[in-house]
């Protein structure tokens, strides 16, 4: 099952164009470091490694995330067995994990959740063995996995209080806190996290400010809680969510060996997500590292063989439909077909941008968003430097070719983003060019404004244009 799912992800991943975020992380991989503007560095390291194996291609960018998803599935299987799963329960845990739409589809994407999910479940896998075998070596492995998880996403910091909560839950486990093992794990995890903390200390704490700045509550908006719960029910797979709730709602499920471990280690992060949803939106992918625990708990649901089959069938239908929309959006109504637009029409659009650049004598191309910058930089066909006019701090440590600002340039972005007043404050000369569209005839399209600009009035590469 894992082999088949991995093979499918490799095939789709090799042919599916990069999303904006994936293309952006690809830029990071060209300049390996211990930190970046938006996230810790692990996804950049993975992309760097994958492109050394499979080339600077979509498959190269996604290779390690796809293999990481396969490794996560195997760990889910073995963790379910170690957590007390019997008979086919460990196998069903792995199947249900891959039957979650977020994992089934997101398992091929090169995003920080990929390494974060792998190292999160790896930490649980090692910690359970450390406790069972009273092994300091396994505790050290758990600490290394936790440190790598934090180098993937800061949400992995919730692993520490989760494991502490689990150890404190019984007298026998509390005794382990008096031994060296858990503290060795904490020291190793902290040392690995220190690599990124040190980078932040020399870069104005930029990643910390960006990520931890979300924690502060500035309003009370409980509507986001309902949105969070409904969205997670869909991304988990409604049937998997029901199985997990059923498992926790029955005495037999709650008392199943390992459920306490999974619930305790997940509780701090779940609590944070619920609190966050009371004042702001929780992005659907944030809880991804918790999905392994949910799959195992769902597999432990008593007397539910048919519902497990329905859960698997539901995911096959959803992913099959999504692939059909991506492959042939013209067969679907406009609102559904538009879902494929972010990854369609790029080759023809890039050719049109390059045509306008050459016709206008532009020596560079600028955008007003990181996503379009990354997409144009990743696409073959634009033979000039590409950079963003705003948020210049994103690119401080990246090795992007510098533009010759003494020559004219082309500014392009979605129509809603282009403000001619801003461009006039930024450049002495701004000339309108014909709009461009991205998309195929008969399908949904996006409109882009194009401007030929020259003679910057400000430090474009240093401070960027004023908003």
Going by C-beta distance under 8 Å and a sequence separation of 6 or more, which residues neighbour residue 26?
Answer: 18, 47, 51, 56, 61, 110, 374, 378
Q: Is the pLDDT of residue 253 over 80?
A: no
Copy the structure tokens of residue 224.
């986001």
Sheet with 409-414, strands from edge to edge, namely 386-388, 365-367, 409-414, 446-456, 427-438
Q: What number is the average pLDDT over the span 419-447?
A: 87
Copy the structure tokens of residue 212.
């931890």
Phi and psi dihedrals of 119, rounded to 5? -75, -25
pLDDT band at 105 (very low <50, low <70, confident <90, very high): confident
Q: Pick the residue with more confidence: 333 or 20?
A: 20
Whose tokens are 């934090």? That residue is 150
Q: Is the pLDDT of residue 443 over 70?
A: no
pLDDT band at 345 (very low <50, low <70, confident <90, very high): confident
Q: What is the pTM of this model?
A: 0.93
Q: Is the pLDDT of residue 372 over 70?
A: yes
pLDDT for the residue 365: 95
Question: Residue 218, Cβ neighbours under 10 Å: how many?
Answer: 7
* Distance from C-alpha of 194 to C-alpha of 179, rounded to nearest angstrom: 24
Q: Pick the residue with more confidence: 427 or 336?
A: 427
* Distance from C-alpha of 63 to C-alpha of 1, rounded to nearest angstrom: 19
pLDDT for the residue 393: 86
pLDDT in tens, 283-334: 999 999 999 999 999 998 887 778 888 888 887 887 777 777 666 666 555 6
The region that residue 365 occupies, defined by phi over 0 for left and psi between -120 and 50 for alpha, beta otherwise, is beta
Q: Are the CB atoms for 193 and 147 separated by under 8 Å?
A: yes
Q: Is the pLDDT of residue 248 over 90?
A: no
Q: Is the pLDDT of residue 77 over 80?
A: yes
Going by C-beta distance under 8 Å and a sequence separation of 6 or more, which residues neighbour residue 209?
Answer: none
pLDDT for the residue 328: 64
Q: Pick the residue with more confidence: 467 or 301?
A: 301
pLDDT for the residue 188: 98
Q: Is the pLDDT of residue 454 over 90?
A: yes
- Measured on CA atoms in the order 119, 273, 77, 309, is the torsion positive or negative? negative
pLDDT in tens, 153-181: 999 999 999 999 999 988 888 888 889 99
* Average pLDDT of the residues of the chain: 89
């Amino acid at each position: 099952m894992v082999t088949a799912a991995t093979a499918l992800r490799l095939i789709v991943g090799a042919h599916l164009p990069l999303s904006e975020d994936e293309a952006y992380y690809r830029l990071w991989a060209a300049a390996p470091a211990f930190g970046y503007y938006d996230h810790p560095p692990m996804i950049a390291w993975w992309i760097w490694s994958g492109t050394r194996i499979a080339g600077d291609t979509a498959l190269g960018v996604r290779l390690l995330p796809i293999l990481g998803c396969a490794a996560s599935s195997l760990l889910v299987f073995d963790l379910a067995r170690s957590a007390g799963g019997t008979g086919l329960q460990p196998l069903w845990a792995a199947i249900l994990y891959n039957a979650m739409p977020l994992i089934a589809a997101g398992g091929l994407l090169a995003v920080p959740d990929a390494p974060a999910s792998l190292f999160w479940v790896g930490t649980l896998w090692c910690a359970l063995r450390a406790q069972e075998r009273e092994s300091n070596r396994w505790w050290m492995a758990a600490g290394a996995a936790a440190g790598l998880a934090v180098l993937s996403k800061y949400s992995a910091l919730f692993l520490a209080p989760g494991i502490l909560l689990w150890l404190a839950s019984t007298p026998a486990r509390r005794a382990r806190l008096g031994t060296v093992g858990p503290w060795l794990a904490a020291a190793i995890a902290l040392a690995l996290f220190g690599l990124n903390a040190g980078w932040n200390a020399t870069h104005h704490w930029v990643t910390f400010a960006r990520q931890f700045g979300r924690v502060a509550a500035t309003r009370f908006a409980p509507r986001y809680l309902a949105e969070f719960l409904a969205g997670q029910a869909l991304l988990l797979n409604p049937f998997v969510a029901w199985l997990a709730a059923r498992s926790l709602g029955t005495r037999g499920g709650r008392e199943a060996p390992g459920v306490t471990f999974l619930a305790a280690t997940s509780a701090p992060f779940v609590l944070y997500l619920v609190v966050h949803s009371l004042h702001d939106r929780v992005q659907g992918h944030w809880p991804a590292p918790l999905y392994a625990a949910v799959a195992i708990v769902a597999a432990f649901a008593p007397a539910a063989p048919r519902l497990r089959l329905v859960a698997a069938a539901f995911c096959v239908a959803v992913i099959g439909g999504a692939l059909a929309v991506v492959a042939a959006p013209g067969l679907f109504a406009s609102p559904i077909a538009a879902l494929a637009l972010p990854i369609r029409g790029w080759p023809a659009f890039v050719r049109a941008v390059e045509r306008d650049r050459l016709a206008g004598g532009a020596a560079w191309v600028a955008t007003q968003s990181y996503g379009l910058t990354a997409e144009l930089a990743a696409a073959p066909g634009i033979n000039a430097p590409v950079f963003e006019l705003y948020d210049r701090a994103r690119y401080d440590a990246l090795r992007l070719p510098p533009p010759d600002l003494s020559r004219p340039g082309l500014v392009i972005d979605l129509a809603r983003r282009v403000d001619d007043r801003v461009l006039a404050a930024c450049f002495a000369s701004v000339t309108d060019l014909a709009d461009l569209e991205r998309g195929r005839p008969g399908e949904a399209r996006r409109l882009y404004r194009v401007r030929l600009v020259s003679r910057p009035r400000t430090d474009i590469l240093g401070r960027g244009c004023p908003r």
